[in-house]
Chains A and B, each alone.
Chain A
Amino acid sequence: MTPVIPAAPHGSDWLGVLAQFLLLSMLSIGGAISTAPEMHRYLVEQHHWLTNEQFSSMVAIAQAAPGPNLLFVAVLGWGIGGCVGMCVTMTGILLPSTTLTLMAARWGEARRSTRGVQAFVAGMAPLTVGLVLSAGFILGKPGYGDPWLLALMVATVIVCVRTRLSPLWLIAAGGLVGAFFG
Chain B
Amino acid sequence: MRGELASAPSVAPLRSPAAAIPEHGPVRDGKFAMAVIFLPPALLLFTLFVVLPIGEAAWYSGFNWNGFGRPTNWVGLDNYRFVLETRAFWLALRNNGLIILVSLSIQLPLALALALMLADRFRGAVALRMLFFLPYVLAEIATGLIFSFVYDGDYGLVASIWRFFGAEAPHLLASTQTAMLAVLIVVVWKYFGFHMMLFIAALQGMDRNLVEAARIDGASRPQVLRYVVIPLLYPTIRLSVFFAIVGSLQLFDLVMPLTRGGPADSSNTMVSFLYNNGISRMRVGYGSAIGVILFMICVTFAVTYKRWFMRDE
- Do these two chains really belong together in a complex? no
